[in-house]
Amino acid sequence: MGLPSMKSLLARLGDPHKGTKTIHIAGSKGKGSTSTFVASILKEAGQTTALYTSPHLHDYSERIAFDLEAISEEDFARGISEIEKQVEAERESGNASISTFGILTALFFHLVKTWKVPVQWQVVEVGLGGRYDVTNVFDSKEVAIITPISLEHVEILGSTQTEIAANKAGIIVPHCVSILAPQKDAGARTAVGRRCHEVDSELIDVGKKFKLKPLSHSLSEQTFSMEGLQQSIELTIGMLGAHQMSNAATAVAAILALRSKGKLDITDAQIQAGVRKASIKGRLEILKEKGPVIVADGAHNHESAQALRQSLQHFFNAKNCIFIVGVNNDKNISAIWKELSPISKAVIATRSDNPRSMEPAEIIDTISVFESENPNLFTTAGVGEALEKALAMAQEDDIICITGSLYVVAEARNIILKEAAHKSASSFSS
């Protein structure tokens, strides 16, 4: 679905995306976490906030949240029924390519405009890319955030990080404040800076303007300081990993910019409470705390995998992990596994129910290049079987890590949490 079709559909709905203060977020990694940090801070400041993210873990309704509460199935169904005639009219006009993501995006904006209470802020995560993404429908916005850029969807977005960054920087509009998360690639910074210059947007480069200093950590939280632009604040977050410190800092930089311009009345204490309360499922999430520990993280590219390995080593002192891994066909499993191989004890390749899942045998064929001396390479037909195999071979001090795809993570979460709930209920009844 293209942007013209999206704008046409929104026009039929009365342009519900207009008139609400907007924070728009694009990038390769960290979009969901950064969006959640932003929405949590705004909520703590007493601002009614709508949040649109993707993908979901378990249900489409998770993608749309008001004050961090996912909408109910009833509200989802009501909203769909209310926009159905306009969607069909757009189709009948000759646009047969209306996508599921496009419909969900229209649903989000419609619900923002018709919500039970007036919505003060909408935090919108881009689906794919930026310039041509169907969320890029705003003539004006308060803030555009670009999270870390890496090589992804090269057949669509560009063959280099610079080209991909230029695409994602397409969400930057005249006179908005642009927040650039710390980047590894100088070309990405250059591309975003060029776009800001073209449209007269103030650029705040978090990596250059702020200094982050880790202070302490546990398995439940980490604390760091953030200093820059005559600001100094200590932050504690419940999300683990150095990358989450960067995501939180990027969100806080956006909030500080709004405060400095008089667009948001918020205290340091509210910012601190907002980042501390933020949480997101499936990102370095501990599903089982005692031996063997089970951790789930939807790392789907080499940089996410690198962050996962570093976090497992830093927080869990991991040296020998049993990995349950499943990816979609468009993912570079070789690049992912190059990062995870140094701490691999065993690999169980599996697949989710998603039809785009890569075959487990193909995963093992690729991984075996890095694991030529590792006899513990297995395939399973499904996530449940993979979990059973991992638990059967795991020692008390092992770590079982489920990764590669949020679809695999979601299925594993369902199984593990249901079993935990069943055990808890059985223990209580006895």
**Residue 422 has what pLDDT?**
65
284 phi/psi in degrees, rounded to 5: 45, 50
Same domain, 196 and 134: yes
Same domain, 224 and 370: no
Q: In CATH, what number is assigned to the domain containing residue 308?
A: 3.90.190.20
Residues contacting 243, CB < 8 A, separation 6+: 29, 30, 148, 307, 311
Same domain, 145 and 22: yes
Q: Which residue segment(s) compose the domain that 238 sits in?
A: 3-277
Each residue's pLDDT tens digit, 236-294: 999 999 999 999 999 999 999 999 999 999 999 999 999 999 999 999 999 998 879 99
Q: Which of 100, 87, 117 is nearest to 13 (CA)?
A: 87
What distances in angstroms separate CA 105 from CA 53, 299, 407, one per listed residue? 10, 25, 21
Same domain, 99 and 22: yes
Same domain, 247 and 381: no
Each residue's pLDDT tens digit, 391-416: 999 999 899 999 998 999 999 999 99
Same domain, 201 and 290: no
Q: Which residue has the tokens 């207009």?
A: 18
Q: In CATH, what number is assigned to the domain containing residue 27?
A: 3.40.1190.10
Same domain, 270 and 320: no
Q: For residue 8, how many other CB atoms are within 10 A of its CB?
A: 16
* Domain final residue, candidates 277, 306, 341: 277
287 phi/psi in degrees, rounded to 5: -95, -20
Question: How many structural domains are present in the chain?
Answer: 2
| Structural contact between residues 168 and 194, judged by C-beta atoms closer than 8 angstroms | no
Q: For residue 129, how many other CB atoms are within 10 A of its CB?
A: 20
Same domain, 183 and 95: yes
Q: Which of 312, 307, 310, 358 is nearest to 334 (CA)?
A: 358
**Is the peptide bond preceding residue 292 cis, with omega within 30 degrees of 0?**
yes
**Residue 156 has what pLDDT?**
67
Ordered strands of the 222-228 beta sheet: 211-217, 222-228, 231-237
